[in-house]
Every structure is written in structure tokens, then in C-alpha cells.
Amino acid sequence: MPNPRLASGVGVRRSPRSLPRSRPRRSRDAASPRPLPTTKQRIGSYATLAFLILVFLTIAYMVVLFVMDSTGRQWRRCTVDSTEVRPGSRFGSPYVQLSTSCGKLALDKGVGLDKADEVAREFTPGTGYDFKLARTARHPGWWLGDTTVHDWRRV
């Protein structure tokens, strides 16, 4: 007696070539190579890569400056040459810019709209002061802007 399972095709292994395909297989012969990207596509991908590298380097630079500014503060003795009240940024308050023997320093702690002139008059030109400066003050030339004074005292 014939086996009914074999007659109906159940239990029979089919070869992979006999299975129906859901999508046609891509031909791998040399007649249909993968299309090369156009010049615009290449320039666009290089520009995107350059932009991402620039963003990464900018963020890394800002993090390094923040860490260097918040750690390793030291007292440094400087002679004040002149003082000047400078307007702050669009959203910031004014600050006192000190021209010293240590370079230009920015004092914004305790300086407000009404007290900027008073704080500037506290510094006598030709007098020595101790300033508490961050680590970035020891590496002049790559810090963008004046070095921030975190604390000060008269000598």
C-alpha cells in the first residue's frame, strides 16, 4: 500500500532550488556591477564626515577647558597696571578687566550692574595683588578670552 504522506508531498524534503522565492536574486556577474556613487554623493558624505569631526573636536575642546578651569586653581602674584569696566555679553553682566603683569584678567565675581565701577576703583594701579587663577592661566595663547579671576586679595 502506498504511503499517503508521500503522495501528498508532506514530509518530503525539497531542494532549495525548488522553493519559491519571494524576491529575485541579484545577479553577481560582471555585466551588472554595483553603481559607483556620484560626485555630489561623495562630496556630501565627506562634508558630513568633516562636520561631525568638527563638532566632536569642539565639544572635546569645551570639556577640556571646563575641566582645566574648575581644577588646579593656584594663587599668583601680579601687579595691576590698569582697570576697565567692560560691558558683558548680551545676557551677561558687566565685568572688570584688569591689565596686570600676568596678562589680562577678567573679574566678574561680585560685579553687578550697580557695583562694577566700585569694584574697579578698589584696585590701585602699581599695587601687587594675589589672584586665584585656574590652570588655563598657565597656558596663555590657547585660551579664548581673558583669564577668569576666581578670588583675589591685596598684598
CA distances from 88 to 112, 113, 137 (A): 10, 10, 21
Which pLDDT belongs to residue 30? 58
Q: What is the largest CA-CA distance in the chain?
A: 119
Q: Is 7 contained in some domain?
A: no
Q: Is 118 contained in some domain?
A: yes
For the chain, how many structural domains are there in total? 1
Q: Is 103 contained in some domain?
A: yes
Average pLDDT over residues 12-31: 59
CATH number of domain containing 106: 2.40.50
Q: Is 110 contained in some domain?
A: yes
Q: Reply yes or no on whether the pLDDT at 79 is more than 90.
A: yes
pLDDT digits (tens, 9 = 90+) for 25-40: 555 555 667 777 788 8
Range of the domain at 118: 73-154
Q: Is 37 contained in some domain?
A: no
Average pLDDT over residues 48-65: 92
Q: Reply yes or no on whether the pLDDT at 58 is more than 90.
A: yes
Q: What pTM was computed for the model? A: 0.56
Strands 103-107, 147-154: parallel, antiparallel or unpaired by DSSP?
A: parallel
